[in-house]
């Protein structure tokens, strides 16, 4: 396709390009409006805690998750959520030099999202541990139990997150 495709003589945008841009902008507004309606109409619950980056925080994170999920009537996903949050907190303790971390959970329409934010920019990668290795399986556990998971960069580090549907523990 020539570089001048969609441009009028003199470098201006052609009618076809302008029309396409208008359609994309309209679609973007509609999708944005739909997303706002979904969030506004949804039953959103949230909780967060700042924890010191110490070994005791793994147990504390599990207790906080269990208590909050019980309050939300989501005990059926508690075992999976506790295990996965514990893995993420342990990764912060093992692989970063952060002083603290933030644990956040939210639920909307039966989908639980758990996040652990830390100050380190390094993105965890799955590795292939040998059968007799004592570590290196946390992300495989995460990948096996969560419906989805990922990492988002922040200004000061990253957020590791996962999601569990409400039927996960049933």
Identify the domain containing residue 113 by its residue range.
43-165
Same domain, 71 and 96: yes
Cα separation values, 160 from 29, 75, 86, 133, Å: 29, 22, 12, 23
In a domain, 170, yes or no: no
Q: Do both 98 and 32 map to the same domain?
A: no
Question: Is position 135 within any domain?
Answer: yes
The predicted pLDDT at position 153 comes to 93
Indicate if 12 and 70 belong to the same structural domain.
Answer: no
Q: 56 and 22 in one domain? A: no
Encode pLDDT of 111-137 as tens digits. Answer: 999 999 999 988 888 777 778 877 777
Query: Tokens 């139990």 belong to which residue?
Result: 145
**CATH code, domain carrying 158:** 3.30.565.10
Mean pLDDT of the chain: 81
- Tokens coding 49: 């805690």
Q: Is the model's pLDDT at 84 over the cut of 90? A: yes
Same domain, 9 and 47: no
Burial call 69-101: b when 16+ CB within 10 Å, e when fewer: beebebeebbebbbebbbbbbbbbeeebebeeb
pLDDT of residue 5: 35
Confidence tier at 4 by pLDDT (50, 70, 90): very low
Rounded to two decimals, the pTM is 0.72
Q: 137 in helix, strand or coil? A: coil
Q: Which residues contact 164 (CB under 8 A, 6 or more apart)?
A: 77, 80, 81, 84, 111, 112, 114, 145, 146, 147
Name 52's Cβ contacts closer than 8 Å, sequence gap at least 6: 99, 100
pLDDT in tens, 13-59: 445 555 556 666 666 666 665 555 555 556 788 999 999 999 999 99
Stronger pLDDT, 123 or 3, i.e. the higher one: 123
Please write the tens of the pLDDT for every residue from 138-164. Answer: 888 888 899 999 999 999 999 999 999
Task: Indicate whether 5 and 48 sit together in one domain.
Answer: no
31/61 same-domain check: no
Burial class (CB in 10 A: 0-12, 13-18, 19+), 159: middle
- 58, 76: one domain: yes
Give me the number of domains the chain comprises.
2
Same domain as 123, residue 58: yes
Structure tokens at 36: 């706002």
Percent of the chain with pLDDT over 70: 72
Nearest CA among 165, 142, 162, 143 for reference residue 152: 162
Quick check: is 54 in a domain?
A: yes
């Amino acid at each position: 396709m020539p570089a001048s495709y969609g441009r009028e003589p003199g470098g201006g945008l052609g009618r076809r390009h302008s029309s396409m841009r208008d359609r994309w902008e309209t679609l973007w507004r509609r999708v944005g409006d739909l997303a706002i309606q979904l969030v506004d109409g949804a039953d959103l619950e949230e909780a967060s805690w700042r924890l010191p980056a110490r070994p005791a925080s793994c147990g504390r994170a599990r207790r906080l998750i269990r208590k909050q999920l019980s309050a939300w009537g989501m005990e059926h996903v508690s075992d999976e959520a506790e295990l996965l949050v514990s893995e993420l907190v342990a990764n912060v303790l093992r692989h970063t030099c952060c002083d603290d971390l933030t644990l956040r959970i939210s639920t909307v329409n039966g989908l639980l999202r758990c996040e652990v934010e830390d100050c380190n920019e390094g993105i965890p990668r799955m590795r292939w541990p040998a059968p007799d290795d004592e570590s290196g399986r946390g992300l495989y556990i995460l990948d096996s139990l969560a419906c989805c998971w990922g990492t988002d960069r922040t200004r000061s580090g990253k957020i590791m997150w996962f999601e569990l549907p409400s039927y996960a523990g049933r």
